[in-house]
Structure 1
Amino acid sequence: MALVFTGKQMQTEHRRVAETVRERKQMQSEPICAYLHNLDALRKVTESRVKVLPGFCKLFYAIKANSEEAILRALAPIVHGFEVASLGEIKKVRQVSADIPILFGGPGKTEAELEGALQHDVHLIHAESMHELNKLNAIAGSHNKKVSVLLRINLKGPLPQAKLAMGGRPTQFGIEEEQLPQAMEQIKALPNLQVEGFHFHSLSNNLDAEAHAELVRYYCTLARRWAETYGLTLRYVNAGGGLGVNYAELEQQFDWNHFVGRLDSLVKEAVSPGLMIYFECGRYVTAATGYYAAEVLDIKRNHGKCYIVVRGGTHHFRLPSSWQHSHPFEVIPVEEWPHPYERPSLNQEMASVVGQLCTPKDVLAQDVQLERVRAGDILLFPYAGAYGWAISHHDFLSHPHPEHIYLESGTEAGGDV
């Protein structure tokens, strides 16, 4: 799993997680279902990435990917700040740190959320519309404050291809690029706002490091041009997140070192003096060091197809269903079978992995060729540290929640989220 660790280091971390799963299974009679987060690996990977960033760049963690307190506490001393999209997320961050910088984005901010942003000393607010700017100006005026904002712009493109597109086409995000002149004219009548730059988050899960560096350069070129046109002091360009994770081929991941190298050459040419580029990455920060473990409950055949039914499913780990992919996994064999009846199994067959929900959409992996799987074995899904538990419909059918296990410094801790 070539990220920042060497293959050998990642294999060692992976074995540690697998061994923890085996130990947990031995300690309990109920079928195991758990999220495991390797906090040591998370810290090491993130530190390595932050360390090599050029001086004109800062890395923020977008907590929508995974906002568990243990994750935030592990990252707070390493990243330059957190990106949030609600007052609830602002409060989660402030429970971890009273002063770490916060970027506040997302459409449809309420008056209470904008009030909360001022109360909790948010560093920058990303304005999504003129109405939002008007609301914020009025609220800031009532507090006799001047608030720093970035204008989120929905570019007209063309933009690189990626799994999700938030810009370059009609979406609910940002101010349309062609409306920028009108917006800048209206902002002149909003004395309580200070436009400090522009926010671009145009796409998600881009795996091409060179194309992403080119995109950041394009952002900076546009921002400089607009600053000159409208007489702004350009302090920040928020290039969003969008750095991808390859769930189909785990060994072929986004090339961080190449990306950083191009930031220091290609992008640096487009950076005006004093400009700071912010990145707000979520998936790319936490995905690789999180795992989902689910015990096999049953193996059955239906209309010529084989199904592996696990303890859990998309109500715990919604990412595969949301992104419509087969999530990779490995089988952790469990030799003990304490029951007097036959143990369901399959050998050298193709099967789909499904959960316990009463819907045919509860699928974690589709038509995967397997050597051997038995009831009582455990399936371990890697790269489950982002947009898994955080986006799942936890209480559908009222099944128990999975355990949450955090591994660090040779110890482990479990807890609820």
Structure 2
Amino acid sequence: MSKYRTLAEKFGTPTYVYDLDVVAQARDQLFGLLPDGVELFYALKANPHPEIARELRAGGDRPCRAEISSTGELGNALAAGFAPEEILYTGPGKTDAELERAVAAGVRLFSVESASDLRHVGAAAVKHGVTASCLLRVNTTASNASSGIRMMGRPSQFGIDAETLPALMPELRAVPGTRLVGAHFFTMSNAQDEDGLLGEYEFVLHSAARLRDEVGLPLELLDIGGGFSSPYAVPGPRTDYPKLRAGLEVLLDLHLPEWRSGEVGLACESGRYLAGSCGSLLAGVVNVKESRGHRFVILDGGINVLGGLSGIGRLLPAAVDLDGVDDDDLRTGSLVGPLCTPGDSLAKAARMPELAPGDVVTVPNVGAYGVTASLIGFLGRPAPVEVVVRGEDVVSVSRLDYHRTYEVTP
């Protein structure tokens, strides 16, 4: 905690601290949970900070590739050192301008969500005289998981409905400027149950093999998604999956034995697991007040710096790091931010020590879905400082800057 206190005193609050040593540990742990030869895409939406992305790409024996869904993330990936051929461009709303920019930058691998999405990719590729390799994102009809956030098996903007593929495949194969090379599945997110995660992967592998055999779906590269769980804004370690590697190998041998020879290339993707545990938010206590018997601790950062996707109703109660604090010294109260809205609440019943103005609280496990998933533009408060460290050494200090640019003169 003394390191955080020193950083808060030097750089102020609210401040995010990202530890690259923890990023490397998460990368190596996740690769160790997967069979040899499985590629891993880092989803930059979790945290596009170039230092984090660079660590995931450059370090270790098995570097990550990049998964992006905007030209902003494309710029961040390139700034972090990813080569264009290491990038997978995904998302249901790719515009013509975005696709042309990506193709011009050298990106050649795209996940497509519909026949029209594929045609847009092809048009951009034809304009630049190249061929784009495309994965068909598939929305299957059912899945097995009992926990996590469901991503398939219902009407969705994501993916091509599996039952439509027999009729669509001739059209999909004939789109100029494109070559179908594989499939992309993403069934769920944040799966804490290992058996449930393996059940999802079995369903995906069985579905991919069936579509290959029945409709000729290519499987040069099969992205089976992610779903790896890591705590968000509360203390705790990344989820371990001790049976995943061996279990996934058994399922691959059963459904797609060609993976052993490399005939079928395999990939997973992750954002939260790779980046979540590296980050902590340091927030200063501005005021402490009582209101009708309830205690409110008012911080200098709220949902404007720790939004946690609050705009789509996925803000989870945050918790203060209580390392070294005796249970007898804890009190219950609300953690709230400085914004002029009752929605600026990080936790309504948090356990915390006795706090006073000038104290600093630490919210752990916020390296993913922190700054860029927050309402940083609301009420015009400055974005938080982001400090990147490697152990005790400060690597960089930065702050996002947002300002209005007039592009057309009245």
Change in Cα spacing, 1:369 to 1:141, as seen in structure 2 (3 Å) is: closer
1:6 matched to which residue of 2? none
8 Å contact from structure 1 (residues 49, 256) kept in 2: no
1:106-121 alignment, distance < 5 Å: 106-121=91-106
| 1:80 alignment counterpart | 64
Residues 234, 320 of structure 2: 8 Å contact kept:
no
- Asked if the contact 2:308–2:369 (Cα under 8 Å) also holds between the matched residues in 1, the reply is yes
Q: Match of 1:373, SS?
A: coil
Give the residue type in structure 1 aligned to 2:373.
Answer: I
Distance between the aligned counterparts of 1:403 and 1:371, measured in 2? 25
Aligned position for 1:37: 18
Aligned residues: 387
Instruction: State how far apart, in whole Å, the 1-side matches of 2:252 and 2:126 are.
Output: 37
- Asked if 1:380 is matched to 2:362, the reply is yes
Contact 2:308 2:370 in 1 (8 A): yes
Deviations 1:260-293 (A, max 9, x none): 2322233343224121221110011100110001
Q: Which residue in the other structure is 1:219 paired with?
A: 204
Code of the aligned partner of 1:172: Q
Are positions 1:246 and 2:228 aligned together?
no
- Name the counterpart of 2:116: 131
| 1-structure distance, mates of 2:17, 2:52 | 11
Aligned residues with identical type, % of pairs: 29
Structure 1 residues without counterparts, runs of 5 or longer: 1-17, 334-345
The TM-score with structure 1 as length reference comes to 0.86
Superposition deviation, residue 253 in structure 1: 4.3
The one-letter code matched in structure 2 to 1:23 is: T
2:39 pairs with one of 46, 49, 58: 58
Root-mean-square deviation over aligned CA pairs:
2.5
- Say if 2:33 and 2:241, in contact at 8 Å, map to a contact too: no
Which residues in structure 2 correspond to 1:257-406 (within 5 Å)? 257-273=242-258, 274-319=263-308, 321=310, 322-330=313-321, 348-406=330-388
Partners of 2:275 and 2:163 lie apart in 1 by 36
The 1-side partners of 2:21 and 2:252 are apart by 32
Other structure's SS at 1:167 match: coil
Q: How does 1:128-277 map to 2 (within 5 A)?
A: 128-247=113-232, 250-251=235-236, 253-273=238-258, 274-277=263-266
* Structure 2 residue ranges without an equivalent (≥5): 401-410
Q: How far apart, CA to CA, are the structure 2 residues paired with 1:93 and 1:309? A: 36
Structure 1 residue 250: Cα displacement: 4.4
1:26 deviation in Å? 4.1
C-alpha distance in structure 2 between counterparts of 1:40 and 1:347, whole Å: 32
Give the counterpart letter for 1:255 in structure 2.
D
What residue is the counterpart of 1:92 in the other structure?
76
Equivalent position SS for 1:257: coil
The answer as to whether partners of 1:216 and 1:267 remain within 8 angstroms in 2 is no
Which whole-Å CA distance do the structure 2 matches of 1:399 and 1:259 have between them? 44
Query: Do the aligned partners of 2:304 and 2:377 also contact (CA within 8 Å) in 1?
Result: yes
Q: 2: distance between equivalents of 1:358 and 1:281?
A: 35
| Matching residue of 2:52 | 71
Give 1:46 deviation, angstroms.
1.1
Shift of 1:306: 1.2
Which TM-score applies when normalising by structure 2? 0.87
